[in-house]
Amino acid sequence: MAHIKIDCSDSSVVLVCQTCGGAWRAFAWDRADAHDRAVAHEQRTHPGTEEAQAAREQWRRRARSGRPSLAATRR
């Protein structure tokens, strides 16, 4: 299981893989980029695990549903 912590600030995102004991760190410009990098690291270094991938899917679903849709505003 690859547990990668995504730490967001106003201007950038820092990733730390806790499965690597903090030995793997990466920098990203936004959350979408951060999730892509986390998944790439997971596939490269922790093959067979899908935690980062699942986290990205969950984030994408949340990002989509967070936006007001036309159906929700129509009465």
Calculated CA dihedral for residues 39, 52, 14, 25, nearest 10 degrees: -70
CB of 30 to Zn ion, least distance (A): 21
Task: Count other C-beta atoms under 10 Å from residue 4's C-beta.
Answer: 24
Which of these ranges, 11-19, 27-35, 51-59, 61-69, lies near Zn ion under the rule CB under 5 A? 11-19
Is the CB of residue 35 less than 8 Å from the CB of residue 6? yes
Is residue 24 a contact point for Zn ion (CB under 5 A)?
yes
Strands (DSSP E) found in 1-75: 4-8, 13-17, 24-28
Answer yes or no whether residue 34 interacts with Zn ion by CB under 5 A: no
- Is 17 near Zn ion (CB under 5 A)? yes
Q: Please report whether residue 19 would count as binding Zn ion according to CB under 5 A.
A: yes
> Site residues (CB under 5 A) for Zn ion?
17, 19-20, 24, 45
